[in-house]
Amino acid sequence: MGAPAGGGYNPNMAAVGGFAPGMAPGMLPGGGFAPAMGAGGNYEFTEPENIIIRGAGGRSRTWGVMSIIIGAIEVVLGGIVTAYGFTVSNATVKGTLIGLGLFVVIAALVPVITGKFYMDAGGALTDVANTQGDDIPLMLNAVSKLKIAVQIEALFTIGAFVLGLIVGILAASGVFS
């Protein structure tokens, strides 16, 4: 049972002014905040909660951008190693370089692809903190986007590892020589 909107008043704590000792108005035991109701009875996060949500949104968006940039650099480096592998005359070295380069390119596609989803999740979290009146539906949308980002990253990481491993084995066996 939460505290009423507008403060952390607890009738059982009437002897100490209605507030639990050491707790600010609106705080619940454990450090959370009591629900604040906006216009029309919609839940509205408090400003301290919005700061946390906005921060998570900013970090998610920043991670998305960094992932795309790092992944793109890795794709280029893997492409360079692969291209160099085609110029080498020693068959063993050639196969190794081509296999390694292709493995890096395949693995680097994961952050490039998932970065977009982390950016979307970050934008959705920021929307929760910057709007009034629709916090619960917006938060559910943001959490859903974050869930998709994590799912895609997990699936693509496993897929890229398996595909990269197959390419590496093929390269080591001389297929690219």
What is the C-alpha to C-alpha distance for residues 86 and 171, in angstroms, rounded to an integer? 12
Q: What is the pLDDT along the chain (177 residues), one digit of tens a residue?
A: 444 444 444 444 444 444 455 544 454 455 555 555 554 447 888 999 999 999 999 999 999 999 999 999 999 999 999 999 999 999 888 888 988 898 899 889 999 999 999 999 999 999 999 988 888 888 999 999 999 999 999 998 899 889 888 887 887 787 777
The closest alpha carbon to 64, from 104, 130, 122, belongs to: 122
Terminal CA-CA length for the chain: 69
Does this model's pTM top 0.85? My answer is no
Q: Where are the domains of the chain?
A: 52-172
DSSP code string of 56-110: HHHHHHHHHHHHHHHHHHHHHHHHHHHHHHHH--SHHHHHHHHHHHHHHHHHHHH
